[in-house]
Chains A and B, each alone.
Chain A
Amino acid sequence: MKIAIDNFRAFLATNPAAVTGTAALAEAVKSLFQGFQAFPFEGIDVDASHSDLTIVGVSRRLPDYRLEDEVKPYGKHVSFDSDGDEITDMIFAIEDVVFNASFSAPGYSDDGDIQLDVHFERIDDAAERRKRLAALMEEVVGLVADRVLQSIPSTLPPAVLAQALIKKFGPVEGHEFAQSVLAAQDKIETPIHA
């Protein structure tokens, strides 16, 4: 794995023109992930903008410790979606490339392979890069919150749910929570469950 990262670093050093959206950078990212495991992937899909990769057949061990040890992520969240799939979201940077990686491991199916969706951007400016990492992390936390909430049955009585939330967050945060829920309503144009 270290070799794969070193190769990727060498590529970045010698290819300053391989910016976000170029096939060269997408190819280097593909090689980077391929270098993380001994066996070949079953499927790789690169989107037209060359800034997103979907890889099927990633090793289950990859997100747990191998990648984490090597890249020291800016942030990591593990959650389960409503289908029981285990989703590991990881934000990290290698040199000036920022990664938003999402590993999806099927929970109930025996024949499912772990899928990796990775978004990457090359950002020169260090301050901009830090800002982007923070923004991506915020985005991921929002996604995780949505995912956790999606697994809560929508038919639960709101008053009982409110009591459970106040217990969880305490009275002070509960008040802030109440304000935030009201504020959040304005952001939502179409409610999912009316």
Chain B
Amino acid sequence: MNTMKKPLACLHAFLAANPKSGSKSEELVSAVLAFVQGYHSLKFERSQVTLGDISKIEISDSGREIADWLEGDLEPLARYSYVDGECANVTRFVAKVGQLVLTVCHITPWSGKNEPDPMCRLAIDFQRIGNRSKFNTAARQAVERLNHDVCAECVNRIPAQMPVATVAEAVAKRFGRATAKYMAKGLRSSSRKA
């Protein structure tokens, strides 16, 4: 396990030694990539996209276990694992490392019988924020975004033609009495607003 923690220690060291490296700086992007690379013996191919203050690294062929390793070291603030509409195994979580807010999404595509091992994909959004209060706000917003994205994705899988009463019963079964009641209240208030 110590060897697993080494990449994280290196990232912390980089952040401490480079206080001015912002989210969009090439050295921070490289440091985050090196952090992920530290868990894996294969050389990653990556692409990078910058969205406002948030940088995103996308890695194809990331391996199946990397999400578990990252999750083990990063202690997520929120984390979800589920099978998506294309039957891929998806793990998504938000974590904090020093002044970084990380949003991780790992996808293991569905592999049919007699098909080659699927190529897993890993995407990490990250944002560096020095101000403690802004940092906490950004972390909270990242968790909220994650909650919304996962909810929307899951709810979209419910077939549209399915009778409302049937879905309602399934929701009540799945999420229990107290939660169902809370949801019903939320739905009623949303209905009034809409």
Contact = CB atoms under 8 A, between A and B. Distances in A.
B194 A171 contact: yes
A161 interface: yes
Interface stretch (A10-18, A124-132, A141-149): A141-149
Interface residues of B, number: 55
Which 8 A/B pairs are nearest by Cβ-Cβ distance?
A180-B168, A162-B186, A191-B176, A171-B194, A145-B170, A184-B172, A164-B151, A178-B187
A151 interface: yes
Given A82-B83, A158-B186, A175-B191, A153 B154 contact: yes
Interface in B100-130: 110-114
Contacts of B173: 146, 149, 184, 188, 191-192
Nearest to B79: A155
Interface of A: 60, 77, 80, 82-84, 86, 105-108, 110, 112, 138, 141-142, 144-146, 148-185, 187-188, 191-194
Given A165-B171, A175-B188, A180-B165, A192 B176 contact: yes
Interface stretch (B20-28, B40-48, B53-61, B156-164): B156-164
Interface in B168-194: 168-188, 190-191, 194
Nearest to A175: B191
Contacts of B136: none
A163 B176 contact: no
A183 B162 CA distance: 17
B99 interface: no
24 contacts: A80-B85, A141-B163, A145-B170, A146-B170, A148-B157, A151-B83, A153-B81, A156-B150, A158-B186, A159-B186, A160-B148, A163-B148, A166-B191, A169-B164, A171-B194, A176-B165, A177-B167, A177-B187, A178-B187, A178-B191, A183-B168, A184-B173, A185-B180, A192-B176
B155 interface: yes
Contact of A174 (B110, B170, B179, B194): B194
A167 B181 contact: no
Nearest to A113: B113
A184 B180 contact: yes
Contacts of A173: 164
B166 interface: yes
A142 B158 CA distance: 12
Nearest to B165: A180
A149 B180 contact: no
A60 to B, nearest CB: 7
A170 B187 CA distance: 10
Given A164-B155, A166-B187, 14 more contacts: A146-B174, A151-B157, A155-B80, A156-B150, A156-B154, A160-B151, A168-B158, A172-B191, A175-B191, A177-B168, A178-B187, A181-B171, A181-B187, A184-B169
Contacts of A152: 82, 154-155, 174
B82, B112, B174 pick with most chain A CB within 10 angstroms: B174
B114 A185 contact: no
A68 to B, nearest CB: 18
